[in-house]
Amino acid sequence: MTMIEYPEVPDFLKPLVFHEGSYPKDQIDAVIERREEAIPHLLDSIEWMLKNPLIAIDGDRYTLPFFSLYLLAQFRVIQAETLIVSLCRHPMIDDLLGDIITGGMHSILASVCMDNPSAIKSIVEDPKAEEFVRAAAIEALAILTLNDKLPRESLSGSKKGSMDINT
């Protein structure tokens, strides 16, 4: 039997690697306190999920990527944009993220793509993107608009099936 290799993490992140049970408030608070040290490991966990989707779905319950999505969004880590947009376009996104798609992806996208709404727009306009991911991307654009990060006029379609996102 082949041993699954997960990214190495420092001790303060280990409780989130295979977490079961209720919300780990104390462990999340510890990560927030060590934000700068945690960010590279949080990014690595999402990259691992992208590279190992079948293991992520069928293997052990590797939970760090789920916590990573929300923590990177909370920290507004712009470097997470490419990974998260790639994850949103992944053909197995529903199996990988499940309820996160409808429960939090809109906020995650709005936080990490705040400076680049065209990344969100690319998901909306991608006909191969999963429909609930596209809906989350539309909600993310609405969040940016409501928070004055995106002009309201940019959400109106200038061409059939497209939006004019001025970045």
- 123 inside domain: yes
pLDDT of residue 165: 52
* pLDDT of 166 above 90: no
Mean pLDDT score of the chain, rounded to an integer? 92
Q: Tell me: the pLDDT tens digits for 47-90?
A: 999 999 999 998 788 999 999 999 999 999 999 999 999 999 99
- 67 inside domain: yes
* pLDDT of 158 above 60: no
Q: Tell me: the pLDDT tens digits for 118-143?
A: 999 999 999 999 999 999 999 999 99
- 48 inside domain: yes
Domain count, the chain: 1
Provide the 10 A C-beta neighbour count for residue 155: 17
Task: Find the domain containing 30 and state its range.
Answer: 11-149
- 164 inside domain: no
